Amino acid sequence: MGEARKVMDRVTKAVFAQDVKTLGKLYAPDAIADTPDQGEIKGREEIVNYLNEFLVAFPDAKYDTTRKHEAGDTAIDEGYFTGTHTGPLHGPEGQVIPPTGKRVSMRSCDMATCENGLVTSHRFYFDQVDFLTQLGLMPEL
């Protein structure tokens, strides 16, 4: 197991333990995250805030990994995010979406590129239409 895989596993563990202190130590100060809902997020603090806000909205969140990959300095996780929307969810325009009480299960994939034991780039992928439909915020297609 290489460095990228070890760092990615620590990131995932810290996120779902809601351990923001540890999470902050795993990202480079100038790290960049690409997200489907908020676009590009720059900087360690902003990335940690993004992840934490998501977990405030889904405090019972879990991640079930279906596949783990590693290629050089990049680790890739595929799996399912599940949780119940019981807290405020921040939208891309800064709006707050009140809790719907709905449970979601969405397929996701994320890739973290690491250097010197820190994440320098983290790309998150999930289907926003599926996510918003499960929350009852978008009509089913």
**CATH assignment at residue 61:** 3.10.450.50
Task: Please indicate, yes or no, if residue 139 is contained in any of the structural domains.
Answer: no
Q: What is the mean pLDDT of residues 123-131?
A: 95
DSSP per position, 38-78: TEEEESHHHHHHHHHHHHHHSTT-EEEEEEEEEETTEEEEE
Does the residue 24 lie in any domain?
Answer: yes
* Domain membership of residue 37 as a residue range: 3-134
More confident residue, 48 or 139: 48
Q: Please check the confidence at residue 141 and state whether its pLDDT lies above 80.
A: no
Q: Give the position of tokens 């599940």.
A: 82
Task: Give the pTM.
Answer: 0.93
Summarised one tens digit per residue, pLDDT across range 26-39 is 999 999 999 999 99
Give which of 9, 23, 25, 13 is closest to 53, Cα–Cα.
Answer: 23
User: How many Å apart are CA 76 and CA 64, to the nearest integer?
Assistant: 14
Classify residue 141: in a domain, yes or no: no
Task: Assess if residue 59 is contained within a domain.
Answer: yes
Region 55-62: what's the mean pLDDT?
Answer: 96
Write down the pLDDT at residue 140: 77
Domain count, the chain: 1
